[in-house]
Copies of this chain bind each other. A is one copy, B any other.
């Protein structure tokens, strides 16, 4: 089972892992990751998420297929928000199901690492104090070098 969605409104991140396991007795483990919009100590009003419609879904699907190829996964779900997201709201949910825990954990981590660097989404900060971040005067969040490092810890192939 593969569930891939880009959504413009709030969503229930807990529903994804449950959907992968519902009605099955071959799933021994699910791992669910949820990424949330943080308030940055009260300075952030909202994050605005721009995306490339069509390519975003295609890239999420490609990442899911690659995870299924690398580990014996019985299900993968990826949901990503676009639009305006407030502190405390979910941005992304990734869930994996497998017979055993190692594959479920590795699959979910792999998908998150690749989503960060390869899925066409861009975050812009709307700050509560109207004071621009000096490292990003136009509000667009800069990519983190750590994200490239996280991606490259997975061997090719």
Contacts and interface: CB of A to CB of B under 8 A. Distances in A.
A5 to B, nearest CB: 18
Interface residues on A, range: 20 to 34
A108 B108 CA distance: 12
Contact of A35 (B14, B17, B26, B28): B28
Nearest to A24: B88
Given A24-B88, A88-B25, A105-B105, A17 B32 contact: yes
Interface of A is mostly: mixed
Nearest to A91: B28
Interface of A: 14-15, 17-18, 21, 23-39, 87-88, 99, 101-102, 104-105, 108-109, 112, 150
